[in-house]
Structure 1
């Protein structure tokens, strides 16, 4: 199971089966109840995490306690890779949203592995460069895209990462997290709710009790992708 999860981690995307076996040897399993703070902004960066089950939000906050959600990680997602490389203080806080199981790798174990396996180190550096390009793209979106476009782009991103394709539709088998999405898109919750209502009216988004569905064909016929 660890190998299958590691295959989904972008940091290890180019590794061979035998290389993934080596990485799996330095992982450990952790279980946390809902609303557990895994680390706080400013803590030493010492651990990389892979979500086996559950979900984790990563956010920053100001002195008034107001939060800016940077991302929400679900099964198969990973976070904290920069801590493995530079060990600098955490730039954000991570908290479980529900009962969550993680596989973790410590910075010390990771550096020992890199020193012993240059072939693995080289492939990981390439993936870190790709991650930086993705971050640059997110900054571009926040700077140049309007609010509805940012919202739709993040819904599509969530669907691609966690959804199941069924013809022209993608089914995301988890509850729609409006607060997390508004944080990712950098918009106020009321703006998000207005856009979501419009998407519902166009039947681009439909909601169930514990899932939501994105109709790709209707999306590409809408003004949101023109």
Structure 2
């Protein structure tokens, strides 16, 4: 139970979940598990199916697409949200750069919350639209950093 409360607090700081009710946060935290990955392990592989949303608790990971490293993720960063929503294969590969501990929320549990809670789904859509607009703005600005 203490683990679930700690996970609730961590989930509440994720922009995608920031405005969720305590009950919604409790449901996601209850569905989460802590997973550990050794350095060098591919946690998500570009082109493969999505199994879970991952929120990094400790360690770091690199994100690559088409074999090109794009960025490094650390504690508080997350990945897997796009495939979790659209059900399509992963858009990038995420590899543990060092021993990594993450909180994972299985795809099925994530979908259940979306299906049962229209407010959560609406918030998620708005957040993702804002991220898409930011990405489009960066893409149209030749001086912007990726």
| TM superposition score normalised by structure 2 | 0.86
Partner-residue secondary structure (3-state), 1:82 = helix
Distance, in Å, in 2 between the alignment partners of 1:140 and 1:71 is: 20
- Aligned pairs for 1:110-125 within 5 A: 110-125=110-125
Unaligned runs of 5+ in 2: 1-5
- 1 or 2, which has the higher helix percentage? 1
The Cα of 1:25 is off from its aligned counterpart by 1.7
Q: Work out whether residues 46 and 87 of structure 1, in 8 Å CA contact, stay in contact via their aligned partners in 2.
A: no
Please name the residue that 1:95 is paired with.
Answer: 95
Please say if residues 28 and 109 of structure 2, whose CA atoms lie closer than 8 Å, have aligned partners that are also in contact.
Answer: no
CA distance in structure 1 between the partners assigned to 2:98 and 2:28 by the alignment = 27
Deviations 1:86-134 (A, max 9, x none): 1111121110011100111122111112222222222122111122122
Q: Assess, with a 3 A threshold, how the Cα gap between structure 1 residues 138 and 68 changes in structure 2: closer, same or farther.
A: farther
Q: Once superposed, what is the RMSD of the aligned Cα atoms?
A: 1.7
Q: Unaligned 5+ residue runs, structure 1? A: 62-66, 151-183, 185-226
- Aligned pairs for 1:155-166 (under 5 A) are none
Q: Report the equivalent of 2:31.
A: 26
> Do residues 52 (structure 1) and 54 (structure 2) align?
no
- Name which structure has the greater RCO, CA cutoff 8 Å, separation 6+: 2
Query: How far 1:11 moved relative to its partner?
Result: 1.0
Q: Which residue of 2 aligns with 1:43?
A: 48
Measured in 2, the distance between the counterparts of 1:36 and 1:130 equals: 31
TM norm structure 1: 0.58
Deviation of 1:78 (Å) = 0.9
Which structure: larger Rg?
Answer: 1
Please tell me whether the aligned partners of residues 12 and 127 of structure 1 are also in contact (alpha carbons under 8 angstroms).
Answer: no
Task: Please state whether the residue corresponding to 1:50 is helix, strand or coil.
Answer: strand
Inter-partner Cα distance in structure 1 for 2:21 and 2:11: 11
